[in-house]
Amino acid sequence: MPFDLQPSFRALSDPSRRDILRLLGAQEMSVADVAQHFDMTRAAVKKHLNVLDEGGLITTRKRGRERLNRLNAEGLRPVVDWLSWFDQFWDQRLDALKAAIEEIEDPNLTPKETEDD
């Protein structure tokens, strides 16, 4: 069964959640800490954190009565992998451009094969 990308993409689809992610990149933070950076109630932030957690984009641990939220960059991997499927489409254009430039700079270079490979 294929990995379900939906929770991850869904988590990334909200600007506040993307901001939270980058915020957590700086350091592990409690719910209240995160909430302090936004014009939202703590409850709203908590919901966002839940969605991020479901998307596998953060991990949490309890310390005393507070819940610390940490960025889980590994969770972005499936998303990046999915996106990388499209590399073939701009790479072909980019490769063509690069080849054209190289052709101009060095007309004797044959782009088809390189022998020292």
Partner DNA sequence: TTGACAGGATACCAAAAGGTATCACAACAT
Partner DNA sequence: ATGTTGTGATACCTTTTGGTATCCTGTCAA
Point out which residues bind a copy of itself (CB under 8 A): 5-6, 9-10, 12-13, 15, 18, 21-22, 25, 71, 73-74, 76-77, 79-80, 82-83, 85-86, 88-90
- Which of 54, 55, 45 shows the shortest CA–CA distance to 20? 45
Q: Which is nearer to a copy of itself, 73 or 99 (CB)?
A: 73
| Amino acid sitting at position 16 | S
Distance CA 117, CA 110 (A): 14
Do residues 68 and 60 touch, judged by C-beta distance below 8 A?
yes
Distance CA 12, CA 23 (A): 14
- Does 59 engage in binding with DNA (CB under 7 A)? no
- Does 43 engage in binding with DNA (CB under 7 A)? yes
Among 51, 57, 71, 76, binds DNA (CB under 7 A): 51
Distance CA 16, CA 52 (A): 11
Among 42, 74, 91, 110, binds DNA (CB under 7 A): 42
Residues that bind DNA (CB under 7 A): 10, 13-14, 16, 30-33, 39-44, 46-51, 60, 62, 64-67
